[in-house]
């Protein structure tokens, strides 16, 4: 197991070091002994966790944050060309490395398991990381979300396995050379980078071509896009393909799935063995993520029965149907779901745990481009709730698109029978929720932006 610092990354500077993906790579480099520095637009618990590791973090984006002895600058696709630190790096002719290239360099010399798909990556990567750690295999891992506390999204292990989330959004997963690849689903998303499903399929095919000779692809047997991709991959030499799911022809087959409140129990047939294990998060899609993790771990040489038992030790990842708390008989749960498929899956999962109570959603759309393309489907998904508040679009890295507002989602939701309230000022949400939620109800804050900040505020208002 290599713990060397990749050449040229002895003193890296991360622009946007507090981001989910960037902070994990910074943490891994710091744990390997690199003198890591960076900047972020604001202080956060993640920044505080990095500073505890010895990472130097400046707040705001300023040219002077770039140290004189920096050996390279690490960026994500969210960093704009006019960022002052990036401009300064160009002036000094410093190497600029995409975060995926940095992660690929850290994965070199390990037995990598790369988890890809339009959604479910963070949960599946987390399940593998936690279960392999439970089994004492000490994997290294890099996850696009925190397991339990800020800064828990990455760790440098002593074992030979490295589990990483592989992001297709900007094609950066083409940098990796995994021994085992997981593809959870294939759908059209990230409309600023992909114009059609053909481009998506081509991109995933390129990812699969990067699997090492003799490696394994674990892929969904139930989801349409994944099945079409599998058909396109037939006959690839040196690649073992293992499908999973409820389909009759799945190699790792789900034969029973029983929801139990906010958990579930799944039974699978794998290599002639029948195994039953618990999944601590609700819903069919999370159970399927666990089965994908099981299949991948077995492909990497972990005994199936051991791994199935260890998967029960996974207790969730922050923002993936995470219970924030309960006040006044109302439970508040936080969800990162922002694509219609994810939204519908989480709402269906939560429904099983709500009992006789209502499911109330506070939804914040993420990205103008995604809303433009999928706003109608988002509205249709919200109709699965008993009531919803819809906030303004969270822009993230994008500029506004004329005519694209949250009204696209609200109109579609109402056409599908949803009870919707448009919210123009985010700070009014706690009062609005307190006015409609009652004992037994379940409130779901949903979206990939800063809607997550509302959960504790809603609880405080309900308690007061």
CATH number of the domain encompassing residue 358: 3.90.190.20
Look at residue 151 in the predicted model and tell me its pLDDT: 62
Residue at a domain's end among 269, 288, 311: 311
Same domain, 118 and 54: no
Residues 6+ apart with CB under 8 A from 233: 205, 208, 217, 239, 241
Alpha helices in 218-283 (DSSP H): 224-232
Would 1 be classed as within a structural domain? no
Active site residue 121: yes
Q: Where are the beta strands (DSSP E) in 5-47?
A: 12-15, 37-40
Q: Is the dihedral of CA 354, 357, 358, 360 positive or negative?
A: negative
Same domain, 257 and 344: no
Same domain, 76 and 144: no
Residue at a domain's end among 97, 129, 163: 97
Residue 64's domain spans which residues?
Answer: 12-97
Residue at a domain's end among 63, 97, 131: 97
**pLDDT, tens digit, for every residue of 16-29?**
999 888 999 999 99
Check pLDDT > 60 for residue 417.
yes
Say how many domains are in the chain. Answer: 3
Q: What share of the chain is helix, strand, coil (3-state, %, to 5)?
A: 35, 25, 40
How far, in whole angstroms, is CA 354 from its chain's centroid? 24
Q: Is 29 exposed, middle or buried, given 0-12, 13-18 or 19+ CB atoms closer than 10 A?
A: buried
The C-alpha atoms of residue 335 and residue 448 are separated, in whole angstroms, by 8
The C-alpha atoms of residue 355 and residue 166 are separated, in whole angstroms, by 36
**pLDDT, tens digit, for every residue of 37-77?**
999 999 988 999 999 999 999 999 999 999 999 999 999 98
Q: Is 216 exposed, middle or buried, given 0-12, 13-18 or 19+ CB atoms closer than 10 A?
A: buried
Active site residue 101: no
Mean of all residue pLDDT scores within the chain: 92
Look at residue 263 in the predicted model and tell me its pLDDT: 79
Question: Order of strands across the sheet with 111-116?
Answer: 154-155, 140-142, 161-165, 111-116, 180-183, 215-220, 239-245, 252-260, 263-270, 273-279
pLDDT band at 148 (very low <50, low <70, confident <90, very high): low
Same domain, 217 and 287: yes
For residue 106, give Cα distances in angstroms to 24, 176, 420.
11, 10, 46
Closest residue by Cα to residue 369 from 184, 122, 188:
188
Question: Order of strands across the sheet with 420-422?
Answer: 320-327, 330-335, 442-446, 359-363, 387-390, 420-422
pTM of full prediction above 0.85 = no
Would 145 be classed as within a structural domain? yes
Check pLDDT > 60 for residue 150.
no
Would 104 be classed as within a structural domain? no
Check pLDDT > 90 for residue 118.
no
Look at residue 191 in the predicted model and tell me its pLDDT: 66
- Residue 123 labelled as part of a binding site: yes
Would 264 be classed as within a structural domain? yes
What does the block give as tokens for 212? 């090492």
- Residue 118 labelled as part of a binding site: yes
Average pLDDT over residues 247-260: 93
Catalytic residue among 121, 124, 187, 445: 121
Check pLDDT > 80 for residue 1.
no
Tally Cβ neighbours within 10 Å of residue 421. Answer: 13
Look at residue 429 in the predicted model and tell me its pLDDT: 96
Look at residue 356 in the predicted model and tell me its pLDDT: 83
Residue 178, domain CATH? 3.40.1190.10
**pLDDT, tens digit, for every residue of 281-310?**
777 888 999 999 999 999 999 999 999 999
Same domain, 155 and 223: yes
245 vs 146, which has greater pLDDT? Answer: 245
The C-alpha atoms of residue 173 and residue 44 are separated, in whole angstroms, by 27
Would 6 be classed as within a structural domain? no
Query: Of all residues in the chain, what percent carry a pLDDT higher than 70?
Result: 97
Same domain, 300 and 325: no
Catalytic residue among 122, 230, 341, 445: 122
Q: Where are the beta strands (DSSP E) in 369-454?
A: 387-390, 420-422, 442-446
Tell me the backbone φ, ψ of residue 257, rounded to 5 degrees: -145, 115
Residue 49, domain CATH? 3.40.50.720
Look at residue 317 in the predicted model and tell me its pLDDT: 63
Stretch (H or E) spanning 406: none
Would 295 be classed as within a structural domain? yes
The C-alpha atoms of residue 459 and residue 326 are separated, in whole angstroms, by 7
Look at residue 173 in the predicted model and tell me its pLDDT: 93
Stretch (H or E) spanning 28: helix 20-31
Same domain, 139 and 228: yes
Average pLDDT over residues 311-321: 74
Same domain, 299 and 354: no
Check pLDDT > 60 for residue 157.
yes
- Residue 120 labelled as part of a binding site: yes
Same domain, 144 and 289: yes
End-to-end CA distance of the chain: 53
Active site residue 165: yes
- Residue 19 labelled as part of a binding site: no
Catalytic residue among 88, 165, 179, 342: 165
């Amino acid at each position: 197991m290599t713990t060397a610092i990749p050449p040229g990354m002895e003193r890296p500077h991360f622009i946007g070091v507090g981001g989910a993906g960037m902070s994990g790579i910074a943490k891994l480099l710091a744990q390997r002994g690199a003198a890591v520095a960076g900047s972020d637009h604001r202080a956060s618990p993640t920044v505080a966790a990095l500073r505890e590791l010895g990472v130097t973090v400046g707040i705001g984006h300023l040219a002077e944050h770039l140290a004189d002895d920096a050996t390279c600058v690490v960026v994500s696709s969210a960093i704009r060309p006019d960022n002052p630190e990036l401009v300064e790096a160009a002036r000094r002719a410093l190497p600029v490395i995409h975060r995926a290239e940095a992660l690929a360099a850290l994965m070199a010399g390990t037995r990598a398991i790369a988890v890809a798909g339009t959604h479910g990556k963070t949960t599946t990567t987390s399940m593998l990381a936690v279960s392999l750690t439970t089994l004492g295999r000490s994997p290294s891992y890099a996850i696009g979300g925190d397991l339990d506390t800020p800064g828990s999204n990455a760790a440098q292990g002593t074992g030979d396995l490295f589990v990483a989330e592989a992001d297709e959004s900007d094609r950066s997963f083409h940098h990796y050379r995994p021994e085992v690849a997981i593809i959870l689903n294939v759908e059209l998303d990230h409309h600023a980078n992909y114009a059609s499903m053909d481009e998506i399929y081509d991109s995933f095919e390129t990812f699969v071509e990067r699997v090492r000779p003799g490696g394994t692809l674990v892929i969904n047997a139930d989801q349409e896009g994944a099945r079409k991709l599998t058909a396109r991959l037939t006959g690839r030499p040196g690649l073992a393909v293992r499908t999973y799911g409820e389909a009759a022809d799945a190699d790792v087959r789900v034969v029973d799935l029983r929801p139990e409140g906010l958990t579930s129990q799944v039974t699978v047939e794998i290599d002639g063995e029948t195994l039953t294990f618990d999944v601590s998060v609700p819903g069919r899609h999370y159970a399927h993520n666990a089965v994908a993790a099981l299949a991948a771990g077995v492909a990497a040489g972990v005994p199936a029965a051991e791994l199935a038992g260890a998967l029960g030790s996974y207790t969730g990842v922050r923002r993936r149907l995470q219970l924030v708390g309960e006040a006044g008989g109302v439970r508040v749960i936080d969800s990162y779901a922002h694509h219609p498929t994810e939204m519908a899956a989480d709402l269906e999962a939560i429904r099983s745990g709500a009992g006789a109570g209502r499911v109330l959603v506070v939804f914040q759309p993420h990205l103008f481009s995604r809303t433009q393309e999928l706003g109608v489907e988002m509205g249709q998904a919200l109709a699965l709730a008993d009531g919803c508040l819809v906030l303004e679009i969270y822009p993230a890295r994008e500029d506004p698109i004329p005519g694209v507002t949250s009204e696209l989602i609200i109109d579609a939701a109402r056409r599908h029978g949803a009870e919707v309230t448009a919210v123009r000022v985010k700070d009014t949400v706690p009062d609005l929720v307190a006015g409609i939620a009652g004992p037994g109800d379940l409130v779901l804050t949903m979206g990939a932006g800063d809607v997550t900040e509302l959960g504790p505020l809603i609880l405080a208002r309900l308690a007061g």
